[in-house]
Structure 1
Amino acid sequence: MTTGLDAADELLARIGTSRTEPVDDHRAAALVLAVSANLPVLLWGEPGIGKSATLAQLADGLGAPMETVIASVHEPSDFAGLPIVGDDPATEGVPMAPPDWAVRLARRGNGILFFDELSSAPPAVQAALLRVVLERRVGSLTLPPAVRIVAAANPPASAADGWHLSPPLANRFVHLHWAHDPRVVARGLAGVWPHIEVPTVALDRAPSALARARGLIAGFLTARPGLTHHLPADAESRGGAWPSPRTWDMALRLLVFHFCTTLGREALATALVGAVGDGAGLELVTYLDELDLPDPERVLANPAAFALPDRGDRQLAFLTAVVAAVASSVTRARWEAAWEVLAKAVDAGVPDVAARAAFDLARMRDPGWPVPAAIDAFVDVLTASGILTGAG
């Protein structure tokens, strides 16, 4: 039966028809990088600038469903679960029943869990969300590993009954500041909206990528130990990105995924700043630009052609990367090649820089392998640790 609103609904459907095209946007690329690395992401921005629409595009690109949960209208029990008494609670305990959106995601096995209006959620709700974001637990249900967590928040000044995020919750997110582009809006209203493409991860690069990332982060924090953990003094900054061991682990994962995809430097820089904060993030980006370490796999393939860097932080970063590369695939040839690299540190007069690497490398030795000559420079440290005695 035709009603008086049928024509109106048809017109509305035509207005909503549009197409998409790929767009070069470093913010969107940073979002994709963090989501690919399965890191919780928090999009900050004023109301109405397209945060939710961007996530809908991302879900479409992933081919995954999106469950939207308005954090500000929920109670803590909605995330901690509601107690359901069974037949024998004294023996079986009292399980905490999860909400329907968590059950749907668990049944599907993947998807995007989108917490909207996070900055309007009161402190008690934020506390309940800690376990969801960090442990992926909703009541007695564990969300599948393939479920990605993304949140959106308005600055407290523009949020309805806005709150600053608690430091424990804020430190669990990669913070990305969202802004509208007038050109994108104009083109979108003309019928063409941007499409977010999910990059292909090159797994063949994984061993080298992980080794390089470990060396880079270790070298940077050795040069700047004060940035390992730095809780800001003011409440607003504590509710954003700041450096901690947890967020440096995020930075490590972002680097690995950057090395394994085609996402560019600007996207990486945006994501790193969103993980560890403006100050530490910008220092790390500058450090990465200046360091330019060689691929440890290439050096292991031909250690005789390698020249040790001059700077101490570069030396430490590279030696850490070499040892991490060997650890990813331990063979006698690779293990002996790494000792040849460490010998260059001894020849350069900096055996102390290589001492930690020598310690880790010695622990990988198969009992049947001969002790390399380069180990003589590290006799004291390895004897004190008991490793050299164990080596025979």
Structure 2
Amino acid sequence: MHAQLTVTPAQLPEVLLNAAVVRPVFLWGAPGIGKSSLVRDFAASLGLDCVSLLGTQLAPEDLIGVPQIVDGRSRFCPPEQIARDEPYCLFLDELNAAAPDVQKAFYSLILDRRIGSYELPPGSVVIGAGNRATDQALARPMASALVNRLVHVHLRASPADWLTWATGHDIHPSVVEYLTQRPDHLWSLPPKTEEPFSTPRSWHMLSDLLHSYGDAAGDETIALLAYATLTPQHAGSFRAYLKVARHAFDLEAIVKGDARWPADPGDRDLLYFLAETFRARLVKDLPADKRHASAAVRQFAFRAKSLLVELAEISLEMAQLVIADDEAGHARLPSWFLVEAARDLPRLVDARA
């Protein structure tokens, strides 16, 4: 399903508070961005138990129940997990990954809040969740009748929200510090091949592994853990970041002129991380229109051109990485800076010579 508008994890509770209490909600989002935990936290905030049903592990009878003879008539008895006397939050996880006959079994539960003769207690809420087909995840088309019975909300990953959450949930300091500098690495598109990829969930896993190993984790161990949980590019960058931290390399010191780019061949991964971080800093700080640049930003842009020359003297590949287009062929850096860099770099090279 295509998302016209999205919400962040911080915005979601208010949406659910006003929507889920009157209509069933379906929460769309990529794998690993926290849909399940957000629903559980929302239920807890209302003082409701959260009963989770996993669509991929259900058969129709798991919802409808089995028939019994009562007073000479058959009566379907829904499972005890669902048939509760007190209000609760019914969370239908991976609903759109369920088989068509299971999805049909949800119809009356979603529309009429009942299964057979059992009705959900007043005050109960029904929330479904699922991944999108574009996320390379298991997802079946939902019948239009089911789609039309749900309020559809699309969730996106938010680095700011996740970092706020992380400070109160014992996330490893190295993970927090890295994502503070590289928030764009919190989430990546699921790959078309079977390999790890970065999500809030995978960063949480890496944090748990780092806590488990403790101070005994050396560079090779960190590399093993990072490549086992993250997108390969992010794993290499995270490994390099820890080397930067341990070797006291710092981009801010390089920008200020208090340090230089690492030039030792053995520090190539450090140089790669610093070059990527430098590019991210340029993308963040340089406005699209030079007329909106303050005096401090113009001074930084001038310094950045000198740093590009210094970087190119060590590795032309790394300097090209800084100014390269993105995967879609679009310029990452503003055109005015690229034009000025092309004009001024020969002069800066001559000045250094």
TM over 0.5: no
Q: Which structure carries more relative contact order (alpha carbon 8 Å, separation 6+)?
A: 1
